[in-house]
Structure 1
Amino acid sequence: MFRMKRRVSAETMRSRLHLLTFLALSVAVVNAQPSPKVRKSQASSAGATVGQRTFSSRCAGCHGLDGRGSQRAPNIATDPTIRHLSDPELTQIILNGRTDFGMPAFRELGSGEIQHVVDYLRVLQGAGVVSPVGNPQRGKDIFFGKAECSTCHTVAGQAVFVGSDLSTYARGLTAAEIRRAITDPAPSAGRARTAVATTRDRQTLIGAVRNEDNFSIQLQGADGTFHFLLKSDLDKLEYRRLPAMPTNYGQKLSPQELDDLVGYLQSIKIGTVPDPGEE
């Protein structure tokens, strides 16, 4: 009987050793699997790319293309208070607006698109500083001359609804990203539309369309003022066609000229080339 008990104990020990070996192998296999955090990071990166288009057309008019604010809206890129907000808190602000700051609600974007905007805002909040490429001074001449960028864009902070103010556009972007935006621009449908609203008492309001549904429209005037209008109170509502951004800069400008133009856009935000109004 004693020998049998010893035999059973030995078999039990072997079983336990097999079990431990199996568990060790299982842990190794699990650790070898791709981390879910990596997949989440890749999804956030893709979302930020989508969110950039929405941010440029819906948010940059007040917060600036770099998110660092203007006279119309606060800095949401580097302000510690904003940076410390969680994604759900930022989502709620975008969804419901901030009436105390004159910020409208953007419920029509939907939760998915709002999350993309938050993803892109996180990119802006972590953006680094890059050194200009090319020759910024030659790039400035190209901006106001051969490329004719100044016919739609400004670099002095004025309100422009045809094209964005590019004064701080390059902040946080690499030279390759800026060059890609020039040679392969987003479609004009992704940019803010402008509209002319004529009320029944013959008042005319012109501005960028910030929000619109079947019953109302919200315009932002050149001075940054928001106008909430009921369509039933309007005598006429006309939309202005946006000129498309040229898509032939890759052929129109040489590689060196593109580098110079990119360098000029980068230099504006670090102050190495004076703005046109300062000359």
Structure 2
Amino acid sequence: MDIFVVRLNPDTRGNLPYTKYPTVEEYNSIHVSSPMNGFHEAINFKSEEGVIRGYLPPRHLISMRSGKPFALITITASTARNGGDLIVGIQAGCKYVGEKPRIGLGNIKELRLIWHYLCPESLSLLLDKPIPNARRIVLGNNGNWGRGPTFKLDKDSKEKILDKIKSGLIVEKSKIKYKKIKDYINEKLVYAPEELEIESSFDDDIKRAIASELDNVKGNLAPSQKEVISFQYERDPRVAAFVLKKANGICFGCKNKGPFISKVTGLPYLEVHHVKMLKDGGEDTVDNTVALCPNCHRKRHYGQ
């Protein structure tokens, strides 16, 4: 997997707040003096229901747009007065999706923030302790960054820098997560959330709409389309087949027969559910799966 380094402005709000949206006041304050794009990059590690939407500064490498998943090491610009020249985090399983507006941000929509790539929160890690001398670590003694805010690591640099990042990990939870990230980068592990959709704010929009006046709803005669990109685990089809055959069409939850005959299995239709979800570290095994009717399956995910 290719690893790129992205050079961003430090988030000057203190103690690695790269996981918070800026307020209007914060944004206006830094945007006046910033040589780049203010607080777009200050939220590169914010989880939105398991999804990280990250920003890449202008003139990033075209090779990042190949469509292949990539890893990203974030450093701060060495020219910054405060918080510069630090390695602050690493992300993997990232995919470039073009320039997208951030939506569903409530009272800070006026900031018109944008983003370019997404990756699973489970493969995104802010270091417990940022690592100094980032530029020298990335380039070595004689390396040349060149122009632009992104840099592609060669094979010889990858392992050296990945090992160096370990020194910024203090909390045991971070160390475990980092091992997962490194295994994924080295293609030893296929790991990503089950349903990682780009636009995950629709449920929130429905919740707000329910509380509003709905007397004159007309809808859209010609609804527009949006691109949706998903990451999925590679699951064992034999596990699903075993669970469905064992259930023999009877839902594990309500004990009723599936609502119709599946044209795939020839059995009453049931869906395979992981008791401990894969994104939470659950195993894709027969001991961690049950067969549920659609109603019971949705209740497990969305019910109270």
The two structures have a TM-score, normalised by structure 1, of 0.22
Structure with the largest fraction of strand: 2
Higher RCO structure (Cα 8 Å, ≥6 apart): 1
Q: Which has the larger radius of gyration?
A: 1
Structure with the largest fraction of helix: 1
